[in-house]
Amino acid sequence: MSELVEVSLRSIYVNCFATFIAALIGVPVALILDVSKFRFKNILILVFQTLVGIPPVLVGLLLWLLLSRSGPLGGLNLLFTTTAMILAQIVIALPIIVTISHSHFARVDEKIRLLLLTLGANKFQFMAAVLRESLSGVFSAILTAFGRVAGEVGAVMIVGGNILGRTRVLTTSIVLYTNTGQFEKSIFAGLILLSIAFTVNFMANLLSKKV
């Protein structure tokens, strides 16, 4: 039981922190894509849309090649740590947040945009207004990203190694318990994972109604 508590706490930390960092990066990027006009804007949007469907095992493999001792970032000694797992989940979550957030920003009524420009809003004020009009969509993007990383196995298994007491999380525990025939533990870990996802979604929905 103590093992599952430790694993659950590590899962909450890794999933929430990765989603938080991805949101800090992704939402501003989506805003900039919405309000700015530059030559390769549509290509960049297409790249993020394509990366939404990137296989997590491919993310794990690429990060492993970067972080391994023979890789360009091998000197950082990040492989088989929670930091590497967080990096993998950020890479997975970021295009989801950017793509969904941008789609909601693009739906903001043109009349509101024209009114803001008429009132003399600067770029920062314009972006803040667009964000305020799309908050529910942004929350939806963040929750979708959290759901994706919370159920992720492949990437975190590759860069984390599923090491007991260091990098084992609920999803990798479920795989291990199932493969070793510990079905009771596997089901219990799955129920904990569902409970965490439900709690995060419930709290986020409450927050979105108050904003």
Sign of the dihedral defined by the CA atoms of residues 166, 14, 7, 154, in that order: negative
| pLDDT recorded at residue 136 | 87
Q: What is the mean pLDDT of residues 159-171?
A: 93
For the chain, state the CA radius of gyration.
Answer: 19
Q: What is the mean pLDDT of residues 150-165?
A: 92
143, two tokens? 């929750």
Residue 132 has pLDDT above 80, yes or no: yes
Which of these, 95, 103, 102, 99, lies nearest to 54 by C-alpha position? 95
| pLDDT recorded at residue 203 | 80
| pLDDT recorded at residue 206 | 76
Query: pLDDT tier at 181 (50, 70, 90 boundaries)?
Result: very high
Residue 171 has pLDDT above 60, yes or no: yes
Tell me the average pLDDT of the chain.
91
pTM: 0.92
Measured distance CA(130)–CA(166) in Å, rounded: 42
| pLDDT recorded at residue 200 | 83
| pLDDT recorded at residue 196 | 87
Please give the share of the chain, as a percent, with pLDDT higher than 90: 70
Q: Are the C-beta atoms of 123 and 141 separated by less than 8 Å?
A: no
183, two tokens? 């079905």
Measured distance CA(46)–CA(145) in Å, rounded: 18
Which of these, 191, 192, 201, lies nearest to 11 by C-alpha position? 192
Residue bearing the bigger pLDDT, 82 or 200: 82
Q: Are the C-beta atoms of 131 and 59 separated by less than 8 Å?
A: no
Measured distance CA(188)–CA(3) in Å, rounded: 12
Q: Give the class (CATH, top level) of 2-210.
A: mainly alpha
| pLDDT recorded at residue 38 | 85
178 sits in the region (left: phi over 0; alpha: psi -120 to 50; else beta) called: alpha
Residue 21 CB neighbours (<10 A):
16
Q: What is the mean pLDDT of residues 39-45?
A: 91
Residue 1 has pLDDT above 60, yes or no: no
